[in-house]
Amino acid sequence: MKAVRLFEFDKPPRLVEVPEPKLIGPLDVIVRIAGAGVCRTDLHLVEGVFPAVRDKLPFTLGHENAGWIEEVGSGVPDMAKGDPVILHPQPSCGFCRNCRVGNDMHCTGPSFFPGFDGTDGGYTELLRTNARAVIKLAPGTDPASLAPFADAGITAYHAVKKILPTLMPGTSVVVLGVGGLGHFGVQILKAMSSARVIALDMNAERLDFARRLGADEAFMSAPDGVQAVRKATDGRGADVVLDFVGERGTPDTAIKMLRRGGSYSQIGYGGTLTIPTVELLLGEYTILGNIVGSYNDLAELMELNHQGKVHITAQQFPLEDAADVLHELDAGRIEGRAVLLPPGVRQGSAQPVAAGAAAR
Amino acid sequence: MKAVRLFEFDKPPRLVEVPEPKLIGPLDVIVRIAGAGVCRTDLHLVEGVFPAVRDKLPFTLGHENAGWIEEVGSGVPDMAKGDPVILHPQPSCGFCRNCRVGNDMHCTGPSFFPGFDGTDGGYTELLRTNARAVIKLAPGTDPASLAPFADAGITAYHAVKKILPTLMPGTSVVVLGVGGLGHFGVQILKAMSSARVIALDMNAERLDFARRLGADEAFMSAPDGVQAVRKATDGRGADVVLDFVGERGTPDTAIKMLRRGGSYSQIGYGGTLTIPTVELLLGEYTILGNIVGSYNDLAELMELNHQGKVHITAQQFPLEDAADVLHELDAGRIEGRAVLLPPGVRQGSAQPVAAGAAAR
Amino acid sequence: MKAVRLFEFDKPPRLVEVPEPKLIGPLDVIVRIAGAGVCRTDLHLVEGVFPAVRDKLPFTLGHENAGWIEEVGSGVPDMAKGDPVILHPQPSCGFCRNCRVGNDMHCTGPSFFPGFDGTDGGYTELLRTNARAVIKLAPGTDPASLAPFADAGITAYHAVKKILPTLMPGTSVVVLGVGGLGHFGVQILKAMSSARVIALDMNAERLDFARRLGADEAFMSAPDGVQAVRKATDGRGADVVLDFVGERGTPDTAIKMLRRGGSYSQIGYGGTLTIPTVELLLGEYTILGNIVGSYNDLAELMELNHQGKVHITAQQFPLEDAADVLHELDAGRIEGRAVLLPPGVRQGSAQPVAAGAAAR
Amino acid sequence: MKAVRLFEFDKPPRLVEVPEPKLIGPLDVIVRIAGAGVCRTDLHLVEGVFPAVRDKLPFTLGHENAGWIEEVGSGVPDMAKGDPVILHPQPSCGFCRNCRVGNDMHCTGPSFFPGFDGTDGGYTELLRTNARAVIKLAPGTDPASLAPFADAGITAYHAVKKILPTLMPGTSVVVLGVGGLGHFGVQILKAMSSARVIALDMNAERLDFARRLGADEAFMSAPDGVQAVRKATDGRGADVVLDFVGERGTPDTAIKMLRRGGSYSQIGYGGTLTIPTVELLLGEYTILGNIVGSYNDLAELMELNHQGKVHITAQQFPLEDAADVLHELDAGRIEGRAVLLPPGVRQGSAQPVAAGAAAR
């Protein structure tokens, strides 16, 4: 079968012929890929930002996957060939304390992360994962366009869910960056809470996009996003800032937008957070890191999508264009999330939120 | 091998010869029983209180089990023959929403409850369970005396953990009934919180027992336990009542012990709770049912035992005496929890909390 | 000034002339009443359901009040004559533990409950309360039509907020009774969560009303509401039942609608809840009483109203018709909540949710 | 009366004669000081670290105060001259949302902070505060030695209480710095939870001190505290680090001690926290600032003290020695917390935890 594999750092991944994966353990599942999302993390993998995978080259990229059940191991309950599915990115063990308590993204047992940690991912036709990673979709669902929920979507959902207990009527939440993740953030906040959503972006078009998605207000993040937020909150500052950028100074700026006792939640990454402890003390801030989300998070997000409350903005490309798509992503020319379709999967239409919507 | 099986309602279970269990699924585990606790629920099973198991007779009793790994299925990680273990009473599926969120006792997948639901339990030599039910004990641990943690202990722990967020310095918790479950309750409360523990029992010896276990105060529940609690709390009432009796009028009495906004947590069962809605409203009470607990609950409780903070009071008997032991339990003549030891397991000494301590 | 006072049980309250209230303590506030809601509890007061107030007769009824600041004590910050306000029904002390932690409805300091506990309420022109009970409304707001938020609204809000942490996408909540309180419940659930709302009522018109308010589904509660809920939840039962009726058997019926681990929240009152402890255990249910709500609850609810997410259905009557209005309420002929307007307050139009909408 | 006042930055405060304070508002309270704790923040005030108070010089220092009621305003309930009391450091308004929800340290109404924000503090004989700041002590209590609970104690308590929901049997908590605040931290953790407490300090004597206070383990923070913690936690890292130092590199080091999903709670201050967002993401850490605590926090802490579970280590000095004591504190020569006693208050013995115990 065809697969797009990373052979060495700083060289584009290449489409090659590889053998099909086989079931190994009793909980293994082989999935026929319908679509695989293209993520900025893929660029970072190519750039060698994660040196730990050097010894595992080459491997197939793609950690944001959806498709259909192809084959299941002897211990897998309740799945049949052809069932449409979306995949939690990190197959977990189900036995460790974290798995048992709903933090399966912190699984300490034998788990792996296809397309990210050196095991083969979804830029191909067939993928091996395990039964604990599989979320069944409603019969008849077209999985291709849903793939970006599996990483971009779940991460935004996870971050929102963590701050949900603090969101009451009258609470203000800033969404920094209305791109691939942030556009999920706005929708999820509006679907799950009565909080006021204030969107900030450097791009005026994205402010319109944010408003169409339900943001109560939207401001340019430059020249003075802090001032804009202060003004919109009667001088007090926001209760929460969700930072979907996480670089180019946003972490430090974001904290200046908070009221005393407020929370800064970091989702985007790349930059550095620096805060004097006396400020952390005087503001009594809470700072929250976020990584992916749990299986239940993704299941709940798919329910929101099923209810029509959270939509995806995505463009589809054939798998063989992977290197080009990565190049376009790097150049900022991808509108919405890009999804790669393997040979034989019919290119359909995504579920557009709004024409011309841009996303990271 | 030998097994004590229930053949018909209202007849004592009998020791008979049965074939050894075999592994079926890849996550199955066979455990060599070291000890099986004898529970009042076993009496109820004999009495036919649970008619749903009639069609499954005969089956082997025993849902409170500890022992050593004997054999494991192909998908079971990290366990070897001879490892000492204690068993969560309900092997769960690991895939359903409840399992994933830490409520495995509400597993909605294919799960079972050996010794309770008609599948074979631990009044025997070898038991089939699954890998998700197994908690490994420290190497060298003698599992026999620990069996009562698997049901009596976990249930008390689960109930305490649910009310833990409300327990602050100055909070008063009433423990109703200092028997097999209640004696765990007192110890767990003192180990995990700074709450004031007020024990009530109908038996004066048990009040001494409660004080030795750490209760701050202990009163006779008759003639007027409500008055005793009101007096001990400056007239306001207790913040929480943990009812380890649940019959003979305790539910209704217990609620009269609460302050406004207080919580009644029911663990013992048999009686009926009756409350006018106007009282529920004026008191704004919270009423909590409890069933067993999660795997993590049991793991945490074993950690408390390992730290020396929660002890068990138990007596050991040979398996062939099962019917006699049930009869003695029914007659109220068992001190502490009774544990049955299969042939070949050496009868050792339990870990007494205090000489002469009585427990349900 | 004019006031409608209760002189003896089982006799209609009478409109009489009374002296105006005076400021006593430094935190006292005198409010000029714009409107006072008529509540089923007023009927109960007349019927002598609360014998403790016998010694305090006569007193002025009315515990659901809104109006304008008239005069404030020397220690009251930030309020001026003419400010439109809505009043928390129970002026609290601000010093006790409950007040400090956000449970001011359980104030254990010197507090009172005008119109309910024998102190004078709002069926009149001027009312004495204290500064801790006053919520300022946006300048220019007409307080008259908002009065029912002060008791019916806050109670529904409080009950929803308590179960909010359990409401995730995919969660089902049953609203039993779509009357004066329940119609708030449906709107608040939809505004604050992504839960699926299933409304039940004995009246087919109210099912339409519920759907217009946002209920996802609506069923007749007879002949078999339990079966309707089971069917709508794939046989599992609802995650939560909010019981706005609380009498005529609904408490026991409601619990049969729950899934294992579900919550029953009681708001309406009058009947009795009866549950065998073995069922409470097997279902591991949580049962929640509710009384009014906190000041912050009411402030948050007014924010939802301000955002246009929660509307009120009310009819206005002149104060002198109080006895007649109570009679009509008893006869089930009041559509929506009735509000009494004292002399001099212009009768305006309420904010109708939908024409012909019925409410308890 | 005598008072120790700060006249200009970088000059020692001086003992001078000042007029006695008078009641102003109806909730004001005048307290006769029994003892006032000396805090490192006093040094920072002298050093001009808080430039905002420059315009308010001179003022009386002392924000950690205990004494007896002297006089109360007309609206103050339930206090009489001579009642022994300890004072929450920040008199709050009682009306704002934060006050009503238990976050009175974030009061947004008219509040002040005697001895810190330019209003007169407790290095004197009589202090004006308000009724919301007063915690009554058991009759006959000697308030002098208890003063350090009012700031050092409450801050440690507040930080522990925030992480309490994450502390289960098996959880590891690192206490960084066993000085004035940290020695409270160890005791409070042991009193309120079953967590394993690992103390780190640069001073070997303090490790012994920590063990006597109940720490399960204690290690030198140099040369490699991170390695010591990793080793003590089977390589996984601690669940929580409470950083009572907050300077000289501890914030960055502390985060390296955490397991994935762990929490860093900052109490000490002076340094800067710097963390790449990719590490915050991969570790999914929670970072918590802390400032003082709520009134209820202090009340609960005094209850722990009353139960004999949390002791204080303090030395008493006459008020006129204030400048010398500050100098000694700066030189690291104060054992335990120093408390200043105004003229006429008899110098008694503190409640020593252990002979020779050292504290910041």
Instruction: Convert the pLDDT of each residue in C77-135 to its tens digit.
Output: 899 999 999 999 999 999 999 999 999 999 998 889 999 999 999 999 999 999 999 99
pLDDT at site B347: 62
Instruction: Convert the pLDDT of each residue in B252-311 to its tens digit.
Output: 999 999 999 999 999 999 999 999 999 999 999 999 999 999 999 999 999 999 999 999
CA distance C116 to chain D (A): 24
pLDDT band for position C349 (50/70/90)?
A: very low
- Pairwise CB contact (< 8 Å): D277 & A247: yes
> Which subunits have 3 or more CB–CB pairs within 8 Å of chain C?
A, B, D
Between the two ends of chain C, the Cα-to-Cα distance in Å is 30
For B93, phi then psi, to 5°, come to -85, -30
Give yes or no for a contact between A254 and A176, defined as CB atoms under 8 angstroms apart: yes
- Pairwise CB contact (< 8 Å): B191 & D169: yes
Give yes or no for a contact between A29 and A130, defined as CB atoms under 8 angstroms apart: yes
Give yes or no for a contact between A65 and A33, defined as CB atoms under 8 angstroms apart: yes
Give yes or no for a contact between B133 and B76, defined as CB atoms under 8 angstroms apart: no
- Pairwise CB contact (< 8 Å): D278 & A270: yes
Q: Which residues of C touch B252 (CB under 8 A)?
A: none
ipTM of the complex: 0.93
CB of A304 within 8 Å of a chain C CB? The answer is yes
pLDDT at site A360: 26
Looking from the CA of A47 toward its CB, the CA atoms found within 13 Å total 9
**pLDDT greater than 60 at residue C247:** yes
- Pairwise CB contact (< 8 Å): A77 & B100: no
Instruction: Convert the pLDDT of each residue in D101-131 to its tens digit.
Output: 999 999 998 889 999 999 999 999 999 999 9
- Pairwise CB contact (< 8 Å): D26 & C296: no
Q: Which residues of B touch C270 (CB under 8 A)?
A: 277-278
Q: What percent of chain A shows pLDDT beyond 70?
A: 96
CB of D289 within 8 Å of a chain A CB? The answer is yes
CB neighbours of A224 closer than 8 A, spacing ≥ 6?
Answer: none
Q: Are strands B59-60 and B28-38 parallel, antiparallel or unpaired?
A: unpaired
**pLDDT greater than 60 at residue D288:** yes
More confidently predicted of B87 and D359 = B87
Q: Which residues of D touch B137 (CB under 8 A)?
A: none
pLDDT band for position D331 (50/70/90)?
A: confident
**pLDDT greater than 90 at residue A258:** yes
**Mean pLDDT value of segment B316-343:** 91
How high is the mean pLDDT of chain C?
A: 93
pLDDT at site C351: 37
pLDDT at site B314: 85
Residue D293's Cβ-count burial label (10 Å; 0-12, 13-18, 19+) is buried
For B53, phi then psi, to 5°, come to -90, 0
The region of weakest confidence among A177-181, A241-245, C80-84 is A177-181
Question: Rounded distance, CA A154 to CA A148, Å?
Answer: 9
Q: Which residues of B touch C98 (CB under 8 A)?
A: 261
Type of residue found at B25:
G
Chain C residues 181-240 with CB within 8 Å of chain B: 236
pLDDT at site C359: 27
Give yes or no for a contact between A91 and A133, defined as CB atoms under 8 angstroms apart: yes
pLDDT at site A30: 98
**pLDDT greater than 50 at residue C360:** no
Question: Rounded distance, CA D127 to CA D273, Å?
Answer: 37
Q: Which residues of B touch C103 (CB under 8 A)?
A: 261
Instruction: Convert the pLDDT of each residue in A146-164 to its tens digit.
Output: 999 999 999 999 999 999 9
Instruction: Convert the pLDDT of each residue in C44-82 to its tens digit.
Output: 899 998 889 999 999 999 999 999 999 999 999 899 999
**Mean pLDDT value of segment A318-326:** 96
pLDDT at site A359: 27
Type of residue found at C83:
D
Give yes or no for a contact between D359 and D179, defined as CB atoms under 8 angstroms apart: yes
CB of C260 within 8 Å of a chain B CB? The answer is yes
DSSP B59: E
- Extended beta strands in C114-237, E state: 126-130, 134-136, 172-176, 196-201, 217-220
> Which subunits have 3 or more CB–CB pairs within 8 Å of chain B?
A, C, D
CB neighbours of C156 closer than 8 A, spacing ≥ 6?
Answer: C181, C182, C184, C185, C188, C244, C267
Beta partners for residue D259, in sequence order: none
Name the residue in chain A with its Cα closest to that of D293. Answer: A284
CB neighbours of A351 closer than 8 A, spacing ≥ 6?
Answer: A145, A311, A312, A313, A314
- Pairwise CB contact (< 8 Å): C272 & B269: no
Residue A351's Cβ-count burial label (10 Å; 0-12, 13-18, 19+) is middle
The DSSP code sequence of C300-352 is: HHHHHHHTTS----EEEEEGGGHHHHHHHHHTT---SEEEEE-TTS-------
pLDDT at site A130: 96
In terms of DSSP H, where are the helices of A10-151? 40-47, 97-100
Name the residue in chain C with its Cα closest to that of B276. Answer: C272
Residue A217's Cβ-count burial label (10 Å; 0-12, 13-18, 19+) is middle
Vertex D175, ends D170 and D180: CA angle to 5°?
Answer: 145
Instruction: Convert the pLDDT of each residue in B133-144 to its tens digit.
Output: 999 999 989 999
Q: Residue A110: which of B26, B27, B77 has the nearest Cβ? A: B77
DSSP B237: -
Q: Which residues of C touch B283 (CB under 8 A)?
A: 289
Q: Residue A300: which of C169, C303, C309 has the nearest Cβ? A: C169
Residue B82's Cβ-count burial label (10 Å; 0-12, 13-18, 19+) is exposed
Question: Rounded distance, CA C345 to CA A156, Å?
Answer: 50
Question: Residue D249 corresponds to which tokens in the numbers above?
Answer: 């590199």
CB of B100 within 8 Å of a chain A CB? The answer is yes
pLDDT at site A7: 98
Other C-beta atoms within 10 Å of C113: how many? 16
CB neighbours of D83 closer than 8 A, spacing ≥ 6?
Answer: D68, D69, D136, D137, D139
pLDDT band for position D350 (50/70/90)?
A: very low
CA distance C29 to chain D (A): 14
Instruction: Convert the pLDDT of each residue in A18-43 to its tens digit.
Output: 999 999 999 999 999 999 999 989 99
> What 3 state SS string does chain D have?
CEEEEECCCCCCCEEEECCCCCCCCCCEEEEEEEEEEECHHHHHHHHCCCHHHHHHCCEECCCCEEEEEEEECCCCCCCCCCCEEEECCCCCCCCCHHHHHCCHHHCCCCCCCCCCCCCCCCCECEEEEEHHHEEECCCCCCCHHHHHHHCHHHHHHHHHHHHHHHCCCCCEEEEECCCCCHHHHHHHHHHHCCCEEEEEECCHHHHHHHHHHCCCEEEECCCCHHHHHHHHCCCCCEEEEEECCCCCCHHHHHHHCEEEEEEEEECCCCCEEEEEHHHHHHHCCEEEECCCCCHHHHHHHHHHHHCCCCCCCEEEEEHHHHHHHHHHHHCCCCCCEEEEECCCCCCCCCCCCCCCCCCC
pLDDT at site C350: 39
pLDDT at site D240: 98
CB of A243 within 8 Å of a chain C CB? The answer is no
Instruction: Convert the pLDDT of each residue in B28-71 to its tens digit.
Output: 999 999 999 999 899 989 999 888 999 999 999 999 999 999 99
Vertex D151, ends D149 and D157: CA angle to 5°?
Answer: 70
How high is the mean pLDDT of chain A?
A: 93
Looking from the CA of D260 toward its CB, the CA atoms found within 13 Å total 14
pLDDT at site B63: 97
- Pairwise CB contact (< 8 Å): C170 & A194: no
Tell me the helix, strand and coil percentages in chain C, rounded to 5. Answer: 30, 25, 45
The region of weakest confidence among C8-12, C220-224, C339-343, D177-181 is D177-181
pLDDT at site B73: 96
Length, in residues, of chain D? 360
Instruction: Convert the pLDDT of each residue in B165-221 to its tens digit.
Output: 999 999 999 999 998 899 999 999 999 999 999 999 999 999 999 999 999 999 999
DSSP B208: H
Tell me the helix, strand and coil percentages in chain A, rounded to 5. Answer: 30, 25, 45
pLDDT at site A334: 81
CB of C26 within 8 Å of a chain D CB? The answer is yes
pLDDT band for position A108 (50/70/90)?
A: very high
- Alpha-carbon torsion C47, C50, C52, C56, what sign? negative
**pLDDT greater than 70 at residue D32:** yes
For the entire predicted model, the pTM comes to 0.94
- Closest Cα to residue A63, out of A26, A105, A12? A105
pLDDT at site D317: 95
Name the residue in chain D with its Cα closest to that of A247. Answer: D277
Q: What percent of chain A shows pLDDT beyond 90?
A: 85
CB of A24 within 8 Å of a chain B CB? The answer is no
Question: Rounded distance, CA C176 to CA C159, Å?
Answer: 13
Residue B286's Cβ-count burial label (10 Å; 0-12, 13-18, 19+) is buried
CA distance C16 to chain A (A): 41
Name the residue in chain A with its Cα closest to that of B130. Answer: A95
Instruction: Convert the pLDDT of each residue in D68-100 to its tens digit.
Output: 999 999 999 899 999 999 999 999 999 999 999
pLDDT at site C337: 87
pLDDT at site C348: 56
**pLDDT greater than 50 at residue B354:** no
CA distance D72 to chain C (A): 13
Q: Residue B280: which of C266, C283, C285 has the nearest Cβ? A: C266
Question: Residue B115 corresponds to which tokens in the numbers above?
Answer: 């010794």
In terms of DSSP H, where are the helices of B117-224? 152-163, 182-192, 204-213
- Alpha-carbon torsion A202, A206, A211, A215, what sign? negative
Other C-beta atoms within 10 Å of D222: how many? 11
**pLDDT greater than 60 at residue D357:** no
CB of C293 within 8 Å of a chain B CB? The answer is no
CA distance A88 to chain B (A): 13
DSSP C180: T
pLDDT at site A347: 63
**pLDDT greater than 60 at residue A351:** no
Question: Residue A307 corresponds to which tokens in the numbers above?
Answer: 């209810």
- Pairwise CB contact (< 8 Å): B132 & A94: yes
Q: What percent of chain D shows pLDDT beyond 70?
A: 96
**Mean pLDDT value of segment C210-233:** 96
CB of A89 within 8 Å of a chain D CB? The answer is no
The DSSP code sequence of A58-90 is: SEE---SEEEEEEEE-TT--S--TT-EEEE-SS
pLDDT at site D179: 86
Report how far Cα B240 is from the mean position of its chain's Cα atoms.
20
CB of C135 within 8 Å of a chain A CB? The answer is no
CB of D271 within 8 Å of a chain C CB? The answer is no
pLDDT band for position A77 (50/70/90)?
A: confident
